[in-house]
Amino acid sequence: MIYNIRKIFTILSVMVLGGVLVYNCEPEPDSLGEQLFLNGAAEGNETSYDLIAYNIDNNDTIRTDAFKLLNIISSGSTSSTAVLGAFNEKQFGKQKASYFTQVRLAANNPDFGTNAVVDSVVLVLKPIVSIDSLKTTTDESYVFPNGNVDAKKVVNTYPIKKYGKAKLNGGKLTLQVNEVNEFMNGLNDIVYSDRNFGINSTALGSKEIKDGSVSSVVITKDSDNTELFTSSTPAVRIQLTPSVFQSKIIDKKGQPELSDVSNFIRHFKGLKVSVVEEDGYLFQFTPNDMQLIMYYKNDKVDSNGATTRPQTTYEFAIKGSNMHSAYYEYDRTNAIINDYANGNTTTGDLKLYAQGMGGNSIGIKFKEEEIAKLKKLYQDDKAAIITAKIRIYTDESTWSTPYAKPTDFTIVQRDKDSGGKETTAFTTDYTSLGALFISIRAYNTDKNPAHYDFTVTQSLKDIVESGNAYNNKYFKIDIAQFAPNSSGTYAGYNYTTRAFSMGRAVFVGSDPSNVNKIQLKVTYGTKK
């Protein structure tokens, strides 16, 4: 078969999603070998080779401290993502996500005035929503309760972006907030996802997301159209117990507990946000957009000497400067993953279970006998490798589900240095071509099965044509994205979204009986 290099430009008609090209057609040769096709200079032959593919057990644990959740990258910029929810299905079992955060004062030694009394406290949490599915309701006869003011209330409602059983119990999910009673250390301390800090058993508050949606609210006074209240970003507002903040904050005015950060984070140790349900869906939210607002009244003397008690707000600091961490619970009891995820690095596993948030990774090794075949072709027939791709299919028999198939993946290469220590790096394909290199192409993600091609051309050429050792080399694939820095390039192989990636899928592994078994697809060229 002769390839036409002009087909390369079909990439103009595909969509780029986080470094993954999504296709609905067959792949083309990659740029490492394009020059061999120019003007019909070479004839391309595609051959398939077996691979050793296996599950890598990460013990359902991953680092989930502030560095990973806030994704602080080398440029100094930050993004902010975390997960809440619970999702239980037969292949992977149950996965449940909670979130911890410290709380700080806006400034040390706050003065809340005379006779201060807390009215209410609200934790505002902002899920990631589908902004193109807006529903608006307007109440022209609304009465604002603080002063009984005639007003208009406009509510914009958006569905939360969910992963899992979005319609279970009508989309209901109950968020619960508890006070932490264990010191959570500092911002720079490492925390893993199996770390569950101690909490007070009595909840500070809870809020039911009734239909899987959240709203923004704007309330304006009828008389002059001034805003009485605004919450312009869709959010969940969870009412917390006022008496706790009265005794722990207001009543501590002028005391050592409120004098500095060190004292305060040992006095009021933080909050845990979790879900009550054991099944439903997972959703992402932005920790750096969270708010903790205390509403209180104190005595004020006006110009006429009269004492009034206007309402005042105090916003605590619960964003980037605090310690944050995620806690993930797993229950694999009776899950089918237990029957197939054996970590067989000799002949491979029949099925591959990839899952974000500390679940399994996929490991892939070249087979010695297959490398020997390629080396013989190169030596005897001068057959140069033009493109090499690892092709992997979702398992049609077990992963025919309504859940979105993943489009985000990372692939890194692992080896051992001279001292026997395992090393991790970008693949040599990425380091050869840089930021413009698209290492992964996704096909038919809206169908069953979907399949994915991971380009490993230079990695294979290094072994077959340059004679590099490969006995300790393998590839590690995760459902996640590499995080970009401010210039749009990858910040580093260890800067990824694994800590909060909700995706999962079952793939066909090294199964000789399955036509869709994982394979190495090599196109090599010989001169005419």
C-alpha to C-alpha distance for 326 and 84, rounded to whole angstroms: 9
So what's the pLDDT on residue 420?
87
So what's the pLDDT on residue 79?
60
CA distance to 133, 382, 434, per residue, from 5 (Å): 42, 21, 22
* 54 φ/ψ sector (left φ>0, alpha ψ -120 to 50, else beta): beta
C-alpha to C-alpha distance for 368 and 37, rounded to whole angstroms: 29
C-alpha to C-alpha distance for 507 and 172, rounded to whole angstroms: 31
C-alpha to C-alpha distance for 127 and 286, rounded to whole angstroms: 7
So what's the pLDDT on residue 40?
47
Whether the CB-CB separation of 118 and 248 falls below 8 Å is answered with no
Q: What is the CA radius of gyration of the chain?
A: 28
Can you give the three-state secondary structure of 14-44, one letter per residue? CEEECCEEEECCCCCCCCCCHHHCHHHCEEE
So what's the pLDDT on residue 39?
43
Handedness of CA 383, 387, 44, 1 (dihedral sign): positive
pLDDT tens-digit profile of 407-454? 999 999 999 988 889 999 999 998 887 666 788 999 999 999 999 999
So what's the pLDDT on residue 229?
85
Q: Is 396 exposed, middle or buried (0-12, 13-18, 19+ CB in 10 A)?
A: middle
C-alpha to C-alpha distance for 197 and 217, rounded to whole angstroms: 34
CB-based contacts of 145: which residues, under 8 Å, 6+ apart?
none
Q: To which H or E segment does residue 380 belong? A: helix 368-381
So what's the pLDDT on residue 486?
66
pTM: 0.88
CA distance to 138, 385, 412, per residue, from 417 (Å): 65, 26, 16
Q: Which residue is listed with tokens 């920790």?
A: 287
CB-based contacts of 263: which residues, under 8 Å, 6+ apart?
256, 257
C-alpha to C-alpha distance for 460 and 80, rounded to whole angstroms: 37
C-alpha to C-alpha distance for 154 and 136, rounded to whole angstroms: 7
Peptide bond preceding 449: is omega within 30 degrees of 0, i.e. cis? yes
Neighbours of 71 (CB within 10 A): 20
Q: What is the pLDDT along the chain (528 residues), one digit of tens a residue?
A: 333 333 333 333 333 334 565 655 444 445 445 444 444 445 568 899 999 999 999 999 999 998 888 654 444 445 679 999 999 999 999 999 999 999 999 999 999 999 999 999 999 999 999 988 889 999 999 999 878 899 999 999 999 999 999 999 999 999 999 999 999 988 889 999 999 999 999 999 999 998 999 999 999 998 998 888 888 789 999 999 999 999 999 999 999 999 999 999 999 999 999 999 999 999 999 998 999 999 999 998 888 888 888 889 999 999 877 899 999 999 999 999 999 999 999 999 999 999 999 999 999 999 999 999 999 999 998 889 999 999 999 999 999 999 999 999 999 999 998 888 999 999 999 888 766 678 899 999 999 999 999 999 999 999 999 999 999 999 999 999 988 776 667 778 988 999 999 999 999 999 999 999 999 999 988 765
**Considering only CA atoms, which of 79, 72, 119, 83 is closest in space to residue 273?**
83
